[in-house]
Amino acid sequence: MRLGIVGVGGMGSWLARLALSKGIEVHGYDKDPERTRGIKGLNPAASLEELLVRVDIILVATPPATTPAVLGHLRMAATRSGWSGGIADISTFKKHVIPILQGYPASISVASLHPLFGPRARRLEAHKVLVVPVPGRENNISTFTRLLDTLGLRWETIDHEAHDRLMGLVIGVPYAIGHALARAAGDLLEKAHMVSGTTFKALYLLLATLGDPEDLVNYILGDPDTRAWIQALAQELGSRAPRKDTSLYEDLYCLVEECLTRG
């Protein structure tokens, strides 16, 4: 198996190093050539076209705002050359990439992947990759599940619409709360953290999103599924209706306290 990675940034370089550690031949392309030269064992490509002819599978790990354009470029290049391999992206939301993947020739396997972890991940057994089939081409996913098995990554499949709705909640809402909390608290934020207990410290963890690039933040906060969850949350915040089922509270409290204790 020969693997190509487009975009050798945080996740791209992590995936490249993991694949190399499993004995996979890895080739990479990045608009910044220094990134590809910085990974021992990775074979740099000078263009997407050059990468395409060298490999069997390509993972597109570019910033999500640019991924659709990269997939479109690869589709044209693959169609012209008659290349027949597998191409998948790892973008956060799938509504922007599924229509492009649907336009690939039938000779090319396509799917969309979503690693549920970041480039600091250490224990593979604690993490999972979501495999999102392209409608009408569900049988294509075996190309990518075999790769994930070889990499030692756990996976499960999910429909693209269900995926985006869930990502709007699990990724979009923490982004929204973190940024809103920073703006609302202003200069009091650090003092509040110093005198806070477990509950506020859990909220404070959401501020980790403030360090992400502005284009990524805008991409996530501007997504329609994220916006729908934010609107639903705003309605609930204004209702003042208490939650009657509190059976989950103690378990959550203990979990947060345990995480904070571990650092």
Q: How confident is the model at residue 259 (pLDDT cuts 50, 70, 90)?
A: low
pLDDT, tens digit, for every residue of 93-134?
999 999 999 999 999 999 999 999 887 777 777 789 999 999
- State yes or no: pLDDT of 241 exceeds 80: no
Characterize the bridge pairing of strands 2-6 and 25-29: parallel
Please provide the average confidence, as pLDDT, over all residues in the chain. 89
How far apart, in Å, do the first and last CA atoms of the chain sit?
A: 39
pLDDT, tens digit, for every residue of 36-87?
888 899 999 999 999 999 999 999 999 999 999 999 999 999 999 999 999 9
Q: How confident is the model at residue 242 (pLDDT cuts 50, 70, 90)?
A: low
**Strands annotated E in the chain:** 2-6, 25-29, 43-44, 57-60, 86-89, 109-115, 128-133, 154-157
Which stretch of 39-43, 65-69, 182-186, 246-250 has the lowest confidence by average pLDDT? 246-250
- Give 3-state DSSP helix, strand, coil % of the chain, rounded to 5: 55, 15, 30
User: What does CATH list as the number for 2-158?
Assistant: 3.40.50.720
- State yes or no: pLDDT of 247 exceeds 80: no
pLDDT, tens digit, for every residue of 137-174?
999 999 999 999 999 999 999 999 999 999 999 999 99
